[in-house]
Amino acid sequence: MNKPEINLVNKPNGIGIGRIIKATQCSIKGFKAAFKEESAFRTELALGVILLPLSFWLAQSLQHWVILIVSFLFLLIVELLNSAIEALTDRVGVEYHVLSGRAKDIASAAVTLALFVLFIVWVAAGYEKVITLMH
């Protein structure tokens, strides 16, 4: 049995380094769209402007700093996915449908969980810093 040949030349995003360049361009467009259209994303970036400098003071080690930053990046990732789900759902139809509402609510719940993760990690870091300063 012969495998069907796939014509890689006609792939819409190309192959090899061209694919990487195209994917990077698409990512940049996505970041720009999220910044322009999504107020929650802008709010979370503003939070990052506060948290990034604070992370250097709070972190007890390089690994600790990485955990702080990854928890923030996790929030941004989930927010971007939430925004993509909302945009796609609205593209399908802006009239109310139970499945559209459910998709948006579940994506929103994911953002809430990401915020909880961020909160727990940063509160724990703050607690450790206070304990360290007290000794």
- Catalytic positions, please? 79
- Which residue has 């600790």 as its token pair? 64
- Taking each helix axis from N to C end, the angle separating 62-92 and 16-37, rounded to the nearest 10 degrees, works out to 80
Q: Extract the tokens encoding 82.
A: 């939430």
Residue 5 contacts by C-beta under 8 Å, 6 or more apart in sequence? none
Question: Which one-letter DSSP state was computed for residue 10?
Answer: G
Tokens read off for 68: 């702080």
Note the helical H segments in the chain.
16-37, 39-58, 62-92, 98-134
